[in-house]
Amino acid sequence: KAGVTQTPRYLIKTRGQQVTLSCSPISGHRSVSWYQQTPGQGLQFLFEYFSETQRNKGNFPGRFSGRQFSNSRSEMNVSTLELGDSALYLCASSLGPTDTQYFGPGTRLTVL
Amino acid sequence: QKEVEQDPGPLSVPEGAIVSLNCTYSNSAFQYFMWYRQYSRKGPELLMYTYSSGNKEDGRFTAQVDKSSKYISLFIRDSQPSDSATYLCAMRGNFGNEKLTFGTGTRLTIIP
């Protein structure tokens, strides 16, 4: 069974631009969560989607948004990029909200 | 103060040694406790999953949870160079409080 896939794997943007990251969950998984990982803060929860509905949201500004499609694929968008948004963005999928989360390889975003 | 505290290390031990990794937490609502292993440039992979207090063993790995002290541990016996990675503790509550909260991770190096 294929794992969680994330595209693109690497991205370089400049301040003020916006970016969209994509996540394809494991087949049959309906829950997708997004995390930001930085050396100083570790893994921080961004948001979680289940059946196209956002169930939980972390403490990030409104510049960070996401959505989930009917096939469970998810996208997250960051608008007006700041230098501090440089991080590894990880997507995790699970059968449901209380099930084990399996992580993708992440998208490494660099903001210049 | 963070909800989950984890010593970032780095921790270096000789091959064959017993490794002890620990996390403390402050939220008494946490009921499910996990340990993830993350290799460089990869997403985290689940190692151990424990509910409430007690011990769980899987091969060379043992997870311990002491809810009264709000303290969890991961022990690695007969450590191997392939165990060199960053180890992340994670925890969550029950339904309605399912978002995962992670420690910042401990970087472990096993010296051959």
pLDDT greater than 70 at residue A105: yes
Rounded CA gap, B3 and B90, in Å? Answer: 11
Rounded CA gap, B104 and A8, in Å? Answer: 25
Rounded CA gap, B86 and B10, in Å? Answer: 9
Whole-number average pLDDT of chain B: 93
Q: Kindly report, residue by residue over A19-45, the tens digit of the pLDDT.
A: 999 999 999 999 999 999 998 888 999
Q: Which of A93, A69, A70, A71 is nearest to A20 (CA)?
A: A69
* Chain A, nearest residue to B2 by Cα: A41
Q: Kindly report, residue by residue over B32-83, the tens digit of the pLDDT.
A: 999 999 999 899 999 999 988 889 999 999 999 999 999 999 999 999 999 9
Q: Kindly report, residue by residue over A56-86, the tens digit of the pLDDT.
A: 899 999 999 999 999 999 999 999 999 999 9
Whether A90 has its CB under 8 Å from any CB of chain B: the answer is yes
Query: Tokens representing B59?
Result: 């091969």
CB contact under 8 A, A56 and B98: yes
Whether A101 has its CB under 8 Å from any CB of chain B: the answer is yes
Residue A43 with chain B: CB contacts under 8 Å: 44, 88, 90, 102, 105
